[in-house]
Amino acid sequence: QVQLVESGGGLVQAGGSLRLACVFSGRGLSSFSNFAMGWFRQAPGKEREFVSAISSNFGSTYSADSVRGRFTISRDNAKNTVWLQMNALKPEDTAVYYCAAHWAGGPRVDYHNANAYDYWGQGTQVTVSS
């Protein structure tokens, strides 16, 4: 019904930048504009953690303290795409990054909570070397 495909990961030196993209596919009530979108990451041996999110309607954004000021989330509903621009990357940003979608037609949820999301992508690896 809904598919999410991430791209843009790779190997970068500390201080560098990467731009992740997540392309959404769905139809009808499952159209992109009905979903809030989030980015999460998971490093080896660690739990999945919230990175950033953007609402479905007015594009309100939310970011983890660890990435605020360095990472920017944005979306283009016409292109069914959400991006995560990552600047000033640090070795501790190394992780698999996942795109997630939350259907916004239900009760208000906490976008920081991975359990709030209905669909997940397969992930893209980001490796930051020191």
Where the chain has pLDDT below 70, the residues are 29
CA 6, CA 34: separation in Å to the nearest integer? 19
| The pLDDT value given to residue 45 | 94
Token pair in block for residue 20: 């992740």
Query: Where do we find the tokens 């991006």?
Result: 83
| The pLDDT value given to residue 11 | 98
Dihedral pair phi/psi, residue 10, rounded to 5° = 165, -165
Measured between alpha carbons, how far is residue 86 from residues 57, 68, 99, 128 in Å?
23, 10, 14, 11
| The pLDDT value given to residue 93 | 98
| The pLDDT value given to residue 58 | 74
| The pLDDT value given to residue 57 | 76
Amino acid at 22: C
Q: 33, 99 in Cβ contact below 8 A?
A: no
| The pLDDT value given to residue 90 | 98
